[in-house]
Chains A and B, each alone.
Chain A
Amino acid sequence: MPSQTRDAAIVGIHEYPSRSVGADMSALRIKAECAIRALEDAGLTTKDVDAIYECGEEGAVHAGIPSTPEYLGITANITDTTMTGGSSFEFQAAHAKRAIASGKAHVALLTYGSTMRRGGTALGSAGRSYAAGFPHPVVNLEEPWGLTLVGDYAMVARRHMHDYGTTSEQLAEISVATRLHATRNPQAVQAMTDLAFKGTGELTIDDVVSSRVIADPLHMLECCMISDGGGAVVIASASVARGCRQKPVWVLGGGEAIKYPENGGDITTSAAARSGPMAFGEAGVRPDEIDVATLYDSFTITVLTVLEDLGFCKKGEGGSFAQNDRLRFDTPAKPALNTDGGGLSSNHPGMRGIFLLIEATRQLRGQSSSQVANAKLAVASGLGGRLGSRHAAGTVVLGAD
């Protein structure tokens, strides 16, 4: 096994409890409240923070200049505004590990806040944003076709079905497993209630495949929700972590990759096929050792593809891998998937990568509402952009003592 460095650990987490915020909350307020609660969770204060990681999703005073340092009263030595959509926070966690390992930072704060639901954004089916002015050449070629975000992911599912015989029933297993976990998570149940889900109980495969088709072959119950929400994560050096309130959850390895379409390329393989091996390699961990996987479930096909690409099974075998309740928290088979309920049934305010880190941390602390017995190793893998075209994958391997 390669030497495993335990130089940076997640010591504080907070997930904003509501997915449907009132008029008294803004994205910036959500970020700040989550930051304060996550620092309290760690037993640290804003004065301890010397590295800031954020996407600027709340809208900055001046474009590109992060606003949380001023808003929270933080003086940072490291500032990182890496923005790769849903994978941003896995990229940022990997960067924080490097900054801490280099000695330039000791306490890193990652924050996220969004009022996407209240804003009425139809993210999945809105079509592209029709920006004024000079378009990117890709936009100029693809905008006339009315391809929704769901449709982009659906094209991956269609090709996966063609190449490997994957079925909608196999994809539905992902919705079924994450919904089971959501029913055990009071915040997720409240979220589904607030967002007026038709039912908040467990799902059957038939429920999923008989739900309305949004973009063939993806059904409504294979698509994530659109919520409000936010979260924060505090990552600290080993010396700081030893004095924190919670057990450290070590950031063992990280990997980052971008994928874009190529003539003749394979749409069924994602950027996680490169970010995953990088992260596992740095961590000195094999996929089959992982107890819990928090994988970006924008859609079922995202999870299926990333399960394969991270090496939990071979390319093309994701459908059979997901079958027979394998992804539940309470079966001997590993890994358990999205034990908080995921984006499908708990929380998706646009970029849910931070919740992948938060739930993996809960598991490795023993605090999940669907706790995997004796969980020691987890992988969080975010995916931002569009799976079928241009996207970013960030993978982080986490370990308990």
Chain B
Amino acid sequence: MSDVPRPLPNLAELDTRPFWEAARQHELRYQVCNACSGVVFYTRRHCPHCMSFDLRWETSKGKGAVYTFTIIRQIGHPFFRARAPYVVALIDLDEGFRLMSHVIVDKDAVDSVAVGQRVRVAWEDYDEVSLPVFTPA
């Protein structure tokens, strides 16, 4: 394995700090606007649907479907090069938000991933942060 570490989130970043703080507790958070009920993701201070600043945090059940994906087979970054091939996907969570993550399967099973496939959240733990990944449901 490479000595170059995986790029990890900066926990001081303002708009995503609550997301990553919750992730440390293995909770997948998103926002809902109290004014217009719109789902907000990526997370931020205000509602992009109606301009309200009155947002609440909700915890997703972590279930969803693969909207689309790719299998990364060539990448320069040493951490990811050691991990390739791996599946990067956009996941549509049942609560109505879409996020980027990995679908975790064995290297020899990357071709089994499909658009529409049901997945559920799992967690990869690092020293100060946990990353939400997905596995076939």
Contact = CB atoms under 8 A, between A and B. Distances in A.
A159 B13 CA distance: 31
A138 B42 contact: yes
B64 to A, nearest CB: 11
Contact of A135 (B13, B19, B39, B102): B13
Contacts of B79: 146
Given A141-B9, A141-B100, A216 B88 contact: no
A60 interface: no
A70 interface: no
Interface in A111-128: 122, 125-128
Interface residues of B, number: 46
A141 B42 contact: yes
A137 B42 contact: yes
Nearest to A132: B10
A148 B74 contact: yes
Contacts of B19: 141
A385 to B, nearest CB: 16
Contacts of A214: 73-74
B70 A135 contact: no
A139 to B, nearest CB: 9
Interface residues on A, range: 35 or more
B136 to A, nearest CB: 17
Contact of B77 (A138, A146, A152): A146
B115 to A, nearest CB: 4
27 contacts: A125-B74, A127-B77, A127-B80, A128-B7, A134-B10, A135-B13, A137-B13, A137-B16, A140-B10, A143-B7, A144-B7, A145-B102, A146-B80, A146-B83, A148-B74, A151-B70, A152-B70, A155-B89, A155-B90, A156-B68, A162-B115, A212-B74, A213-B73, A214-B74, A215-B71, A215-B74, A388-B68
Interface of B: 6-10, 12-16, 19-20, 39, 41-44, 67-77, 79-80, 83, 86, 88-90, 92, 96-102, 115-116, 131
